Amino acid sequence: MAKSEKQKLKLLYIMQCLMEKTDEEHAVTTQEIIDYLALQGITAERKSIYTDIDLLTDFGMDIIKKPGRSGGYTLASRQFELAELKLLVDAVQSSKFITTKKSRELIGKLETLCSKYEATQLHRQVVVTNRNKAVNENIYYNVDIIYNAIAENVKIQFQYFEWDVSKEMKLRRDGKIYEVSPWLLTWDDENYYLIAYDDEAEMIKHYRVDKMLKIKLSVDKREGREQFEDFDIAAYSKKTFGMFAGKEETVTLRCDRTLTGVMIDRFGKDVAMRKMDENTVSARVNVAVSRQFFGWVTGLGNALKIEAPERVVDQYREYLGEILACYSK
């Protein structure tokens, strides 16, 4: 690249220098900026640096001149604060649907949004190797295709897999192609789910996005608009334990008052609750009755009891009986 063309990039390199090398604790001097530009093949005089800094400030960069020998220029504010970047790094690390490889790539990109000194604080948080992460690298493309299908109002086709005892991917339905109408994507229990309408079964279903393979757009228009007109994804997630489907029921739970917070955390502040006595609370909740729901109830021990309806109580007794039978001598 010719010298004159390099000079046209001077402002951009000064901006890059400030973003990489400065923060609240670190500044760069005029000479350090000149040296940084020299590494890029750009010559600069001190007076031109002052002019360039003024231009970047007029552009909107929050550049502060620190006085004294150890002073210099520093970028005082950025699009993201360090605390916000740490939150994002934590979210990436804890997300099971993001693979280990992609986690490292995303965190590396987040590190470019702060100085190299602050980036070391983000890097120290990177502990992704032993986490239970997804293995399907195509999940990011799956999400993109699903959003395209929603935007274009068409169905999607895909294959769906599960793990067998040999830890190998096994296609469900012997590899039969699924075709559904995608309406929503949601993040629940650390996994990404597609909420879709299956017109063949005439019902709303959900699918783990990281378990979808060979996803593509269909030529057929979406169905299920009526079912999703008043669809509340928050309510759907509350009543569907671990995103496992089941028959929806209004269930009465009798629990120790110490579980009040647990009820609110699980079902929201609008959960119907009333005080029975000094130690007991009754709650009416809408849930998809499934083995996962029963497992949640069991986990709370004798502090929680299903009171009604009787058919759900009977199903729970049967669930517990099957478990006890496994341990009978």
Q: Residue 185 sits in a domain of what CATH number?
A: 2.30.30
235 or 124, higher pLDDT: 235
Q: Residue 285 sits in a domain of what CATH number?
A: 3.30.70
Strands 63-66 and 272-275: unpaired
65 occurs within a structural domain: yes
Enter the tokens of residue 230: 């008043």
Domain that holds residue 67: 3-75
Distance CA 6, CA 12 (A): 10
pLDDT band at 48 (very low <50, low <70, confident <90, very high): very high
Same domain, 146 and 201: yes
What are phi and psi for residue 231, nearest 5 degrees?
Answer: -75, 130
Same domain, 147 and 96: no
Same domain, 71 and 86: no
Enter the tokens of residue 39: 């590494």
**Separation in Å, CA 50 to CA 10, 37, 90:** 13, 14, 39
11 occurs within a structural domain: yes
Distance CA 152, CA 324 (A): 51
Enter the tokens of residue 267: 């079902």
Provide the domain count of the chain: 4
150 occurs within a structural domain: yes
182 prior amide bond cis, ω within 30: no
182 occurs within a structural domain: yes
Given a cut of 50, whether residue 128 has pLDDT beyond it is no
Given a cut of 80, whether residue 133 has pLDDT beyond it is no
Distance CA 244, CA 254 (A): 23
pTM of the predicted model over 0.85: no
Distance CA 309, CA 259 (A): 21
Task: Find the helix or strand (DSSP H, E) in which 50 lies.
Answer: helix 46-59
Same domain, 9 and 71: yes
Distance CA 94, CA 111 (A): 17
134 occurs within a structural domain: no
Q: Looking at residue 129, what is its pLDDT?
A: 46
79: buried, middle or exposed (CB in 10 Å: 19+, 13-18, 0-12)? exposed
Work out the average pLDDT over 57-72: 87
Work out the average pLDDT over 108-137: 72
Same domain, 51 and 86: no
What are phi and psi for residue 161, nearest 5 degrees?
Answer: -125, 165
Q: Looking at residue 168, what is its pLDDT?
A: 78
Same domain, 244 and 175: no
246 or 198, higher pLDDT: 198
Distance CA 224, CA 198 (A): 8
- Say which residue the tokens 């917070």 belong to: 261
117 occurs within a structural domain: yes
Q: How would you classify residue 2: left for phi > 0, otherwise alpha for psi between -120 and 50, otherwise beta?
A: beta
